[in-house]
Structures are given as structure tokens and as C-alpha cells.
Amino acid sequence: MTKHHLTEEQILAHATHSASAGLSLLVACHLTLCPDCRHRHELAVQVGFALAEEPRGPGADLLAATLAGLDAPLPSPTPRRHDPEGVLPAPLAALLPGTLRWRTVFPGVGELSLPVPFEGPLPPRLFRLRPGMRVPDHHHEGAELSLVLTGGFTDDGGHFVRGDVCARDDQQLHRQRIDPGEPCIVLVVADGALIPRTWLGWLAQQIHPM
């Protein structure tokens, strides 16, 4: 059961189509896994329509036009891609090829960049982490948002499993222990690169920047 959810701001940004492409993808994937946030998202859309029906200023027409498109069907990807891992939410599986080619960025860690427009220095990415591993301590140059798709991990914020959202900022030291049993696949949307705090992490960063 999902315990770590989206914020109201993230849900509202997605509901009003004002989120970045990376955040929009992560929110859409989380909504397929979390009934609670789906309900909150539906309420946000309904409130948006109610506001659009009662113009209150010069921006009312723009708000109404934005909200009018919320129920428009999303374009279907062509061709429809299957889910090679068997665990990926539909919005993500639609973006991927038949075989995932993970790039090793650290012993036990594979990375896959996603074909999604992005505004910052890094694209949205998938990471596949070996069961039971300890991720070297690190900071981030900016905010990082992660969605667990399979397996799980524990850090200072608690225990995160499938469907959980983990948010970290550039002020927090990130310590992660991957759960044993199965690989942990995580969708990550980050504003900046990872900054290692151990010599092993620093060495890996020189070989494969993250």
C-alpha cells in the first residue's frame, strides 16, 4: 500500500497541465498505482472546473481554456510499446523499446534515460539497483523526485516501496539501503546532478556522471 504520496502542488500542476514533462510523467505513473492520489487529482480537476465557471478576473478566460482540455484524450503512442520488465505503469511503458538497455553507472546500478522533453540539465531517468546494496552517501545539486516501481529502499525519510514517492532537496544528505530480494527500479526526475560524499561514489561519478 502506498504510504508516501504526491503533494497538493504536484497534483494541481498536473491537473492544470502546468507541470514540466518530467514531473507530469512521474505524476501520471504514480496515479496509476495510488487510488488515494487519483481521488485527490479528480477533486483538483473538479475544483478547477468550478473556478472556471465563475470568472473572477482577467485570467479567468485563460484558466477556463486550460481546464477545458483536461478531459481531452491523450494521443496514443504509435506503435504501442509493451512492458519488457512487467512492472512499468502504462504512461512509462508507452515510451520504452522492447528491450531495455541499462547503462552501468556504478557497480549494481543501471541507468536508462527516457525520451521526454526536459528543461534542466538531466532527463527523466530509470534506475535499476541491485537488491541489498548500500548506495554511497550523496547530495543533489537540486531537488530530486523518485517513484519506486519495484522492490524498495530505506533512507532517512522512511521505507519506500512500489508506488511510493520520495522527495529530496539540495540540503539533504541522501543515504539509501536497497531492500533484499529483487531489484529496485526507480523513476527519477532531478533538477541537478548527484554529488557523491564518499571516495567510491566520487570515482564512479568521474567515470559515469549522474
For the record, the C-alpha cell of 74 comes out as 491523450
Tell me the average pLDDT of the chain: 78
Cα separation of 86 and 15, whole Å?
Answer: 28
**Per-residue pLDDT averaged across 174-199, rounded?**
80
Share of the chain above pLDDT 90, in %: 41
Chain centre to alpha carbon of residue 59: 30
C-alpha cell at 63: 484558466
Eight-class DSSP state of 185 = E
User: Which of 135, 123, 127 has its CA nearest to residue 190?
Assistant: 123
- List, for residues 103-119, the tens digit of each pLDDT value: 998 889 999 989 888 77
Checking if the pLDDT of 102 tops 70, the result is: yes
- Options 2.40.33.20, 3.40.50.300, 3.90.1150.10, 2.60.120.10; CATH for 93-207 is 2.60.120.10
The cell numbers describing 43, all together, are: 477533486
Q: Which of 152, 15, 34 is nearest to 89 (CA)?
A: 34
Residue indicated by cell numbers 472556471: 52
Tell me which H or E stretch contains 202. helix 199-207
Q: What is the DSSP letter of 24?
A: H
**Any idea where the domains of the chain sit in the sequence?**
8-80, 93-207
Q: 8-80: what fold?
A: Arc Repressor Mutant, subunit A (1.10.10)
The HSE-up count of residue 127 (CA atoms within 13 Å, CB side) is 24
pLDDT surpassing 80 at residue 2 = no
